Each structure stands twice: as C-alpha cells, then as structure tokens.
Amino acid sequence: MIKVKHLVKKFGNFTAVDDISFEIEPGERFALLGPNGAGKSTTIKMLTTLLRPTSGTLELNGHNVVKDQAAARKSFGIVFQDPSVDVEMTAYENMQLHAVLYSIPKSQLESRIKDLLELVDLWDRKDSFVKTYSGGMKRRLEIARGLLHHPKLLFLDEPTLGLDAQTRNLLWDYVQKLSREQNMTIFFTTHYLEEAEINASRIAFIDQCKIIATGTAKDLMNQTKTKTLEQAYLKLTGVGTRDNNAGPQNAWAERNRAKAMR
Amino acid sequence: MKVIYFLWLRQLKRYIRSKSRIVGSVGQPLLFLLALGFGLGAAFKHAGQGNYLEFLVPGIMVQTVLFSAMFFGAMIIFDRQFGFLKETMVAPVSRFKIMIGGALGGATTATIQGTLVLLISFALGFRVYNYALIPVAIGIMAIMAIAIACFSSAFGSFVQDMQGFQAINQFLVFPLYFLSGALYPLNNVPTWLKYISEINPISYGVDAMRWVLIGHSTFGIYRDMLVLLVTLAVCAIYGTRRFNRIEA
C-alpha cells in the first residue's frame, strides 16, 4: 500500500528526513513514533503530496506520489495534526465541502455526515460556526471529516492530541472497525505510546530523521528486553528532551531569519 | 463543476456573513467620491473638463473592483494560516478547479461591490447616459474582477504572510491604480505618463467603464475589450501556474 525508498527532505541546510525506507502492506495499522522534530509530520506531508521530497521515491497504492499526484490523492484520507477546518463556516458546511471534494455520492452524503457527527457528539451543534467551538470540539470535527470518505489508506497525524479519554477511545474503536471491516490501511503518529501498543499492528521508531527500529510492539519489547512499549521507546531514543521548536516550518523561518541577518 | 460551485459558494457566504467587510469596502470608495468628487469638482469644471463626479465614478468603480478582487489573494493567505488550505491541497481535485472556484467567488463579491458603488453614486447625483448599458458595465467589471482575482491568487500562493501581501498592494496595485487615469483624464498628461498608462491594463478597464457609463473613451471600446480579455487570459494562466506549485 505504501512504498518508501531512500526518502530525503532538506530545507536548505536543515535535513528533516534522512534516507528512510519502509513498506506497508494493505490492511496494516502502522504507527510511526518518535520525539518532537524527528521527521514524522514531514514524512506524512511528503506522503500526502503537501511537500515534494528532495530525493527518493514514494508510492501509494501503486501510484508515484510525485509524478502522479492526482491518482495518489484519490487513495488516501488524512486527519492533520494542526487545525484545517474553516472556522468561518458551520460544521455541517465543512463536512459538506469535504464530501464534494471527495465526490461522495449524494445518496450517502447526508446519512454519513449525520453518523459521523453523531459519533463525535457534534450533531446538535452542526449549524454553529466552528469558531464558536472549543478546542476539543474542533478536533473532533477534524476527525469526523477525515473519516467521511472511506479511503483505502488513512493518515492520522497525532489524531488524539488534546482529546479526552472518552473521545480517544471512540476514535480508536472506530478506526479499528474501519480497519477490520474495510481492510483499511492506517498510518498514524502519536505521542501516547499505549495507543500505539494497543492499536498498531506494526511500529517504527524514528529519531533524528532516521528510522531506528521497526516491528510489532512485542518485537520491539523483546529486542530491547523491556516490558512496555514506552520503555522500549525510551531505551531506543534516549531520555533527553528534544527541541520542541524543531520541524520544517521553523527550519524555514530560521533560514529566512539567517538570510535577513546576512 | 460541483467543486467549483461549492468553493465559489464558500467565498460568497464568507462575504455575506462579514458585515465589516461589506461596510469597509464600500466606505472607502464613498470617501473618495465625496472628498475628490466634490472637493476637486469645482477646479475640474473651472479647467473646462466638465462634471468631475461623472468622470470619477467609473474610476472609483474600477478601484473598488480592483481592491476587492485583490482580497482573494489575502483569503488564500488566511486559509494557509488557519490551515484550511491543506484540506483543499490534499483533495483529489485538480488545483485548477480549486483556484478557479475561489477566484470566481472572489470576483463575484468584487463585482457586487462595484455595483454597490454605482448605486451609491446614483444617490450622490451621478447619472449614466444609457441605462440599458448597465448590464454591460457589470459584465466588464466581472471580466476585470476575474482577471484580478487570478492575479492575486498568484501572489497569495507564494507570499507567506499578510505583511508581504500588503507590500505587493503598496508597490504594485496602488501604482497601477493611480497611473491608470481613474482619477484624471489622460488627454493632457505628460508624454511619459501617457506611455505608462498605455501599458497599464487597469487604464483600459477604466476607459471601458467610462465608455459604457458616460459615453466617453480615450482608447476606443474595441481596443479596451481586447486588452482586458488578453489580460484575463494571462492572469488566469499565471495564477494557475503559481497555485499549482503551492507546498503547504
């Protein structure tokens, strides 16, 4: 479903992703885990055509992501890490626009929107402007929208960030169901390691822009002789904290600042 | 088509819901009409050029269309900052459709604004020479608005923030406007200024509007329309190309 070979992304002198390769089979639930700034979001952005790789090849569902963007875009859905809803529109309008963008047939449109907004408990507020929503409600809307069209491959970039335990459970139950019933491939990142331990069929650790270990949660624990995934993770990536500001946007800003100072 | 329609509708909804935008974008032209139209009117008449308000209204309508349509580029920047742009960028829809849908929406609101200014001008005593030509005036405003919306989307695509976008307004759009003959007749200006206005597409928009509304033209309506349509084609191609290259 996903084939990544020797993927590199540089922003000027800053390397965000350094020669990573992996393959994901259809129906897998794959977790990419790593500290802040390790290159998770940049990898997802390249996989979802938002960024062009510096070098390497990317294939989604047999389509080359760089050369055949349109076909690649048809194969996936995504829940972004940061907000991407239009806050000046209502929740229903956001859902409706998404349905149109993904050509969901009219016959299914209303029932699907209703089901998903009910799932995330927003149906009563469907006609309120999103700007009147709390942070958690916005997040739930993002998730509902990402699940609206049933893609073969779903990217979830820290989907549960800032959500309460109830909504986290709801989300993962629903994702498990999609994976089981529709053999949907799931690619996700998270900082909650127990989420990955429970929900991922395979896990990769990424640190300092490189993939350092891959396998099932059990493999990784055996390999590191630890009892939980969190311990395995800390053993492999170290306990020191990372610069929270690292990442492509900041690298970009950093470079511009450096340019301006010259 | 459905995608284009919904993205067009989005721009329109956002316009209608934003009272401050409607008031603000009509307020500025009103100020121009009052201050210049009545302030300079006497001097204009004294110089033997006739009624200045009559001369000024088509120019102010173009000004309104120009700055309202430029706002579409700002919308792209807002969409980028608030994240909504990503939603459209990963969708399995050609970027051309995404840009055109939004640009047509921005152009529609700009044309509505221009028409509102015409209505205000009527209240101030402006009269057109042939009411049957008002639909033509709206058509010309629409052509200009689409061209400018496409042009602004090119800048919205590669400028990262509002400050940069403001700079483009300051250094490109204001000069284009002030050197277009919107505020003064071009028949007695120095030769260098005349040359500049002749290569400025906005001059032809102003001239066409004047021809339609008050029956006066410097370049001739056929030349005006030819220049406007070529400008539209160039802007549409340029805007699409730039928009295609967005990375988010």
Q: Where are the domains of chain A?
A: 2-261
CB B28 within 8 A of CB B5: no
Q: Which of B14, B90, B92 minimises the CB distance to A50? A: B90
Torsion, CA B45, CA B49, CA B54, CA B59, rounded to 10: -120
Q: Do B91 and A73 touch (CB under 8 A)?
A: yes
The residue of A80, A90, A100, A104 whose CB has the most chain B CBs within 10 angstroms, and thus the best one to mutate to test that interface, is A100
Report H helices in B90-200: 95-123, 134-158, 162-168, 174-178, 191-198
A74/B contact by beta carbon, under 8 A: yes
- Within 8 A by CB and 6+ apart from B16, the residues are B22
Spell out the per-residue pLDDT of chain B, length 248, in tens.
899 999 999 999 999 998 888 888 888 899 999 999 888 888 888 888 888 999 999 999 999 999 999 999 999 999 999 999 999 999 999 899 999 999 999 999 999 999 999 999 999 989 998 899 999 999 999 999 999 999 999 999 989 889 999 999 899 999 999 999 899 988 888 999 999 999 999 999 999 999 999 998 989 999 999 999 999 999 999 999 999 888 76
Exposed/middle/buried for A152, CB within 10 Å: 0-12, 13-18, 19+? middle
Pairing outcome for strands A55-60 and A2-11: antiparallel
Q: Domain coordinates of chain B in residue numbers?
A: 2-244
Q: Pull the structure tokens for residue B2.
A: 């459905």
Residue A29 — pLDDT band, cuts 50, 70, 90?
A: very high
- CA–CA separation, A151 and A178 (whole Å): 10
CA angle A64, A68, A72 (to 5 degrees): 75
How many Å apart are CA B243 and CA A117, to the nearest integer? 32
- Comparison of pLDDT for B75 and A248, the residue scoring more: B75
Question: A97 CB near a chain B CB, below 8 Å?
Answer: yes
DSSP code of B19?
A: H
Concatenate the DSSP letters of all residues of A92-124 into one string.
HHHHHHHHHHTT--HHHHHHHHHHHHHHTT-GG
**Going by C-beta distance under 8 Å and a sequence separation of 6 or more, which residues neighbour residue A55?**
A6, A7, A8
Residues of A in contact with B82 (CB under 8 A): 83, 86-87
Q: Rounded CA gap, B230 and B141, in Å?
A: 15
Contacts of A80 in chain B (CB under 8 A): 83, 86-87
> pLDDT class for A243, splitting at 50, 70, 90?
low
Instruction: Count Cβ–Cβ pairs < 8 Å, chain A vs chain B.
Output: 68
pLDDT for the residue numbered A242: 65
Three-class SS state of A58: strand
Q: Is A98 on the interface with B (CB under 8 A)?
A: yes
Beta carbons of A50 and B94 less than 8 Å apart: no
Interface ipTM above 0.90? no
φ, ψ for residue A58 (rounded to 5)? -130, 130
Cα(B174)–Cα(B180) distance, integer angstroms: 10
Quick check: A80 and B92 CB within 8 A?
A: no
Mark yes or no for CB contact A88/B3 under 8 Å.
Answer: no
- pTM over cut 0.90: no
Hey, is A132 helix, strand or coil? helix
Q: Which of A70, A87, A93 sits opposite B92 (nearest CB)?
A: A70
Residue B15 C-alpha, separation from nearest chain A C-alpha, in angstroms: 10
CA distance B165 to chain A (A): 17
CB proximity A85 to B under 8 Å? yes
Give pLDDT, residue B25: 81
Q: How confident is the model at residue A54 (pLDDT cuts 50, 70, 90)?
A: very high
Residues whose CB falls within 8 Å of the CB of residue A149, separated by 6 or more in sequence, listed in order: A77, A98, A99, A102, A104
Closest chain A residue to B13, measured at CA: A89
- Which residue in B10, B14, B91 is closest to A102 by CB distance? B91
Å from B175 to nearest chain A CA?
27
| Structure confidence at residue A245 (pLDDT) | 47
Class of A2-261 in CATH:
alpha beta
| A89 neighbourhood in chain B, CB within 8 Å | 10, 13-14
Which residues, including other chains, have CB under 8 Å from residue B23's CB and lie 6 or more apart?
none
Q: Enter the tokens of residue A229.
A: 């995934």
- A interface test, pick of B87, B98, B160 with most A CB neighbours within 10 Å: B87
The reported pLDDT for the residue numbered A186 is 94
Tell me how far apart the alpha carbons of residues A186 and A199 are, in angstroms, rounded to a whole number. 10
Q: What is the pLDDT of residue A257?
A: 52
Question: According to the model, what pLDDT value does residue A256 have?
Answer: 54
Of residues A48, A70, A83, nearest to B83 (C-beta): A83
pLDDT score of A202: 94
The span from the CA of A227 to the CA of A237, in Å, is 16
A79 touches chain B (CB under 8 A): no
Residue A262 confidence (pLDDT): 47
Q: Which residues pair with A203 in a beta bridge?
A: A31, A215
User: Is A10 near chain B, with CB under 8 Å?
Assistant: no
Q: Is the pLDDT of residue A26 over 70?
A: yes
pLDDT at A252: 52
> What residue of B is the nearest CA neighbor of A73?
B92
pLDDT at A239 (0 to 100): 73
Cβ contact, residue pair B82, A83, below 8 Å: yes
